[in-house]
């Protein structure tokens, strides 16, 4: 089943116990990935190839189909983006100031900052929302809104991460911003959403064969992305410098959701938009934080530790925000 189609279920989600029913399949699939990696059924090379298939093929297929069918709600998307982006910029600054206060090496400042705001929206956020939006009126349309917001956010995260990491380098050129800008133009998730929205605006119906193919292909995105996350963190080793890791985790899954909630209230977000914004805010640090830290001479051990710890404790943050927004 396509992940967008999950949102059309009529099963109600209005009891506290059912919040666990949203989180449980997410955790079980992540745990499956950990176990498969630990017992050598999945290796780093295969996980890298699987990640490429998910990011370039499966997720774009699902997002394209969802946007083409459901379209996008401009005001809701604008409100979600406004709350999350304002919170993101505040966390980026707060992460830098926290690093200074802890007297961490300068190379660590940008790593703590990006680990504090860069959430795993595609592999954790969207799967959580695919379950959380079940039973809501217009669930698939809300999912399309979340998907488009996610594509925009990931592109902005790339640029902001480069800025904070570049600022913490001892030397280097600001030409490093070039890859970040290019990542916006070549992001397959954003391109898929925009293409789907264009078809929807043109009132173009997908041919049945293409629609069925995209549904089948996109249906692989949720389970594979969660298994991939579990397999990936199984190979990550946590360093010994705990303080910056804990700071990053607290910024990401505790302080950012609180900021986004306050901003959402200020912006008068409707309940569904608030749920989407908070679910994204409560996601763990994205694996891309480690890759970027390594490429730009940041502290990769801090980034890897933040990814593992935030992924573990995000079960609590996601449970709380989903329960709170029922």
Going from N- to C-terminal start, the domains of the chain cover 5-321
Mean pLDDT of the 77-104 span: 95
For the chain, what is the mean pLDDT? 86
Does CATH place domain 5-321 in 1.20.1530? yes
pLDDT of residue 236: 79
pLDDT in tens, 178-212: 665 666 677 788 888 889 888 888 888 889 999 99
For range 277-304, the mean pLDDT: 89
The residue written with tokens 């995000």 in the block is: 314
Please tell me the predicted confidence (pLDDT) of residue 98: 95
Closest to 155 in 3D by CA, of 173, 131, 180, 174: 180
Q: Which two tokens stand for residue 201?
A: 């605006």
> What confidence score (pLDDT) does residue 171 get?
54
In this prediction, residue 3 carries a pLDDT of 53
CA angle, 178 as apex, 197 and 166 as ends, to 5°?
120
More confident residue, 191 or 261: 261
H helix runs in the chain, sequence order: 16-38, 44-53, 59-70, 74-101, 106-117, 126-132, 139-167, 177-186, 188-201, 208-218, 221-234, 242-250, 256-266, 271-281, 288-295, 300-324
Give the mean pLDDT of 112-131. 92
The residues, any chain, with a CB within 8 Å of residue 295's CB and separated by 6 or more, are none
Phi, psi of 285, rounded to the nearest 5 degrees: -60, 135
Q: What is the pLDDT of residues 137-165, one digit of tens each?
A: 777 788 888 988 998 898 889 889 888 88
pLDDT value for 10: 43
Q: What pLDDT score does 235 carry?
A: 83
Find out whether 149 and 276 touch, Cβ atoms under 8 Å: yes
Q: Which residues have CB under 8 Å from 299's CB, separation 6+?
A: 105, 107, 108, 111, 241, 244, 293
């Amino acid at each position: 089943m396509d992940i967008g189609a999950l949102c059309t279920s009529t099963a109600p989600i209005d009891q506290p116990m059912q919040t666990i029913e949203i989180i449980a399949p997410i955790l079980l699939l992540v745990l499956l990935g950990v176990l498969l990696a630990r017992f050598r059924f999945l290796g780093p090379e295969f996980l890298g190839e699987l990640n490429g298939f998910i990011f370039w093929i499966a997720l774009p297929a699902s997002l394209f189909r969802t946007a083409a069918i459901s379209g996008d709600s401009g005001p809701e998307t604008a409100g979600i983006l406004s709350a999350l982006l304002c919170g993101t910029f505040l966390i980026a600054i707060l992460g830098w100031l926290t690093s200074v206060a802890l007297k961490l090496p300068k190379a660590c400042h940008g790593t703590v900052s990006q680990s504090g705001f860069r959430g795993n929206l595609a592999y954790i956020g969207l799967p959580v929302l695919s379950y959380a939006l079940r039973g809501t009126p217009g669930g698939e349309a809300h999912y399309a809104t979340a998907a488009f917001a996610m594509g925009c956010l990931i592109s902005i995260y790339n640029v902001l991460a480069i800025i904070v990491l570049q600022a913490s380098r001892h030397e280097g050129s600001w030409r490093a911003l070039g890859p970040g800008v290019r990542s916006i133009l070549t992001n397959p998730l954003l391109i898929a959403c925009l293409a789907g929205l264009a078809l929807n605006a043109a009132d173009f119906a997908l041919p049945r064969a293409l629609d069925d193919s995209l549904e089948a292909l996109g249906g692989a995105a949720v389970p594979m992305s969660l298994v991939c996350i579990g397999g990936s963190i199984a190979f990550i080793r946590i360093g010994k410098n705990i303080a910056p890791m804990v700071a990053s985790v607290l910024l990401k899954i505790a302080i950012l959701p609180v900021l986004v909630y306050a901003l959402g209230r200020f912006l008068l977000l409707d309940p569904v938009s608030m749920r989407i914004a908070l679910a994204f805010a409560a996601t763990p640090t994205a694996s891309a934080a480690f890759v970027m830290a390594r490429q730009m001479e940041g502290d990769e051990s801090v980034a890897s530790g933040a990814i593992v710890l935030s992924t573990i404790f995000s079960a609590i943050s996601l449970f709380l925000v989903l329960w709170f927004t029922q």
